Structure formats: C-alpha cells, structure tokens
C-alpha cells in the first residue's frame, strides 16, 4: 500500500504494548484507527489520549477469542468509517508452565483462544470484507521470535501456528489474485506488560498451572521494560505495509538463532538452543 492517508486501520490488543505502538504509528501515517481491546478502562484511556492529540480514533471493546465480538468489531468499523484497509491481529496473552505438561487445560484454552483463534476470527470476518472492497488492503498478524527460534511451550505453540497460518493465507491471496496482502510480525523483547496477562484472564478459565521452579516474574518484567519501544515496532509495521513485506523481523540480532534452528531441521539434528544474543 503506497498511501495510508485517510485509510482505516483496526488494531486488536490496542490498549497497550505493541498494539498501542502500531495504533500510534498508523495515526502518524494519517490513518483513522479503530482500537479494540478486552481491557475496558485501558482501552478508553488510550483512545482518549490519542484523540486529545488530534487523532481520528474510535474504541470498540472486543474479546478476539469470541467470534461474535470480532463480527461486531467489523460492523462497528464499517458503521464508523465505511471501510477497513488494514487489520492488525495483535491481541495476545502469555500463559503456561514448565514443564509444559503441568499446564492446565484452562491454560491451553485461554491462550489458544486469544493468540491463535483471535487471528483466525480476524481472517474469517475481515478478509471477505477486504476482498469485496476491491482495493489495496493489508493484514498484519503478530507472531513472536518464540515461533522462529523454538524453546517456548504454550506461547510458542500458538505463535508458531500464527506464523504458519500467515504464510498459507499470504500464498492463497497471491495465488488467487486477490488484493489484500499479509505480513507477520516477529518481534523479540519489547517493552510490554505481556507477563501481566493474567489481569485479563476470564474467570471461567481460572485453573492456572504452576509457575516453573526458579521463575522470577519481577526479573522478567524488568528485562522486558528494557526492550524495544512498542512505537518503534509500530514504525517497522508501517514500513512493511508500504513495502508489502511479509516477514517483519524487528530484532535482527536473533537471525543466527533462527538459522541455527533451520539448519537443525534441514540436517535432521535433535533440537538444541543457543544462549540469547550478548550472553
């Protein structure tokens, strides 16, 4: 997409973190943005801040794991702006224990519902609209380095599925001659509150698996607080949309780790992990 001015973007998980960073970058590109999140107060606060700065934004509360909510999100977008040109399937949560078999079925249902089925619902609802519009459009699916380097259990499983699904949908759209394009965002350590995902966990899925031995949540929070700004990630996404670039790898220092994993697969070697960059 060459020109984003006055185009309409929808961002899920937009109240904070990478979602907010993308929303801010879209606004700066001249877009009108629908911000969606399950966290009501944070969503309205973020929307009010962007609107006070002059942005044309609209808030819709939605749980992406619920298909009816995603349908209502699309309907609200069309009612407000009349079209949708960019969809950022970004909403995500972190859950799971180590070893992975200690995770509960509630852990699995929650993380699959948001991280994977949220993307599925976004595709199912928004892609037909984008195709029918007959103009340039773009979907951005948020995966993770966990999908590319391995070593993560529940979270990695969902993000690996998002990566594989995105690749397939991209090929289907190109092969079918359809206008929309797809990018998959593969971020590393970003300054988000992903480790506080439990604040939005539904009560019906309250059976939480034990944390791994030695797990230090405060250390994890501090490490991520030193990560890349979400706004920088949003700028990566805007460039990828302009370039119609599929893979959006925001932390190139991990390329060697991705290559290490790919070589193991090609060579038929058993999995091993490299230490993080800089260690």
pLDDT tens per residue across span 131-152: 999 999 999 999 999 999 987 8
Residues 179 and 85: beta-carbon distance below 8 Å: no
> What number is the average pLDDT over the span 193-203?
93
Question: Lowest-confidence range among 7-21, 29-43, 74-88, 91-105?
Answer: 91-105
Residue 32 φ/ψ region, left for φ over 0, alpha for ψ in the -120 to 50 degree band, beta for the rest = beta
The residue that leads in pLDDT, 59 or 100, is 59
Three-state DSSP at 93 gives coil
Is the pLDDT reported for residue 98 higher than 80? no
Domain 8-267 part of CATH 3.40.50.720: yes
Amino acid 150: pLDDT: 82
Q: Which amino acids are annotated catalytic?
A: 155
Provide the CB-side half-sphere exposure for 199 (13 A, CA).
11
Report the distance separating Cα 32 and Cα 6, nearest Å. 6
Q: Which residues fall within 8 angstroms of residue 36, CB to CB, at 6 or more apart? A: 10, 11, 12, 13, 14, 43, 59, 60, 61, 62, 64, 73, 91
For the chain, give the mean pLDDT: 95
Residues 50 and 24: beta-carbon distance below 8 Å: yes
Order of strands across the sheet with 8-12? 57-61, 32-37, 8-12, 86-89, 138-142, 181-186, 247-249
> What number is the average pLDDT over the span 14-43?
98
Amino acid 27: pLDDT: 98
Is the pLDDT reported for residue 99 higher than 90? no
What's the pLDDT band for 159 if we cut at 50, 70, 90? Answer: very high
Amino acid 162: pLDDT: 98
Is the pLDDT reported for residue 22 higher than 80? yes
Is the pLDDT reported for residue 73 higher than 90? yes
Each residue of 260-271: b (16+ CB within 10 Å) or e? bbeeeeeeeeee
> Phi first, then psi: what are they for 252, rounded to 5°?
-65, -15
The token duo for 14 is 């937009």
What's the pLDDT band for 223 if we cut at 50, 70, 90? Answer: confident
> What number is the average pLDDT over the span 153-169?
97
Amino acid 151: pLDDT: 75
Report the distance separating Cα 243 and Cα 261, nearest Å. 27
What's the pLDDT band for 214 if we cut at 50, 70, 90? Answer: low
> What number is the average pLDDT over the span 18-46?
98
Q: What is the 3-state secondary structure (H, E, C) of 175-236?
A: HHCCCCEEEEEECCCECCCHHHHHHHCCHHHCCCCCCCCCCCHHHHHHHHHCCECHHHHHHH
Is the pLDDT reported for residue 240 higher than 90? yes
Domain spans of the chain, in order of start: 8-267
> What number is the average pLDDT over the span 223-232?
93
What's the pLDDT band for 76 if we cut at 50, 70, 90? Answer: very high
Residues 102 and 210: beta-carbon distance below 8 Å: yes
Helices (H) and strands (E) in the chain, counts: 10, 7
What's the pLDDT band for 217 if we cut at 50, 70, 90? Answer: confident
């Amino acid at each position: 997409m060459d020109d984003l001015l006055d185009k309409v973007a929808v961002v899920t998980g937009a109240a904070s973190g990478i979602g907010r960073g993308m929303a801010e970058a879209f606004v700066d590109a001249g877009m009108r943005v629908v911000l969606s999140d399950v966290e009501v107060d944070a969503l309205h606060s973020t929307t009010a801040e962007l609107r006070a700065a002059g942005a044309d934004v609209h808030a819709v509360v939605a749980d992406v794991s619920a298909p009816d909510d995603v349908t209502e999100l699309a309907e609200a977008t069309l009612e407000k702006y009349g079209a949708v040109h960019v969809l950022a399937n970004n909403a995500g949560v972190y859950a799971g224990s180590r070893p992975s078999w200690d995770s509960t079925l509630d852990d699995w249902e929650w993380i699959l519902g948001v991280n994977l089925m949220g993307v599925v619902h976004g595709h199912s609802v928004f892609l037909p609209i984008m195709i029918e519009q007959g103009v340039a459009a773009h979907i951005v699916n948020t995966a993770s380095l966990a999908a590319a380097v391995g070593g993560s259990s529940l979270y990695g499983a969902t993000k690996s599925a998002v990566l594989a699904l995105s690749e397939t949908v991209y090929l289907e759209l190109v092969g079918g001659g359809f206008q929309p394009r797809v990018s998959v965002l593969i971020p590393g350590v970003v300054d988000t509150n992903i480790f506080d995902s439990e604040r939005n966990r539904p009560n019906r899925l309250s059976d939480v698996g034990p944390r791994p031995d030695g797990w230090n949540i405060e250390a994890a929070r501090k490490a991520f607080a030193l990560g890349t700004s979400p706004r920088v990630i949003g700028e990566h996404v805007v460039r990828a949309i302009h370039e119609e670039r599929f893979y959006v790898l925001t932390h190139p220092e991990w390329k060697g780790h991705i290559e290490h994993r790919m070589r193991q697969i090609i060579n038929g070697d058993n999995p091993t992990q490299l230490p993080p960059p800089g260690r």
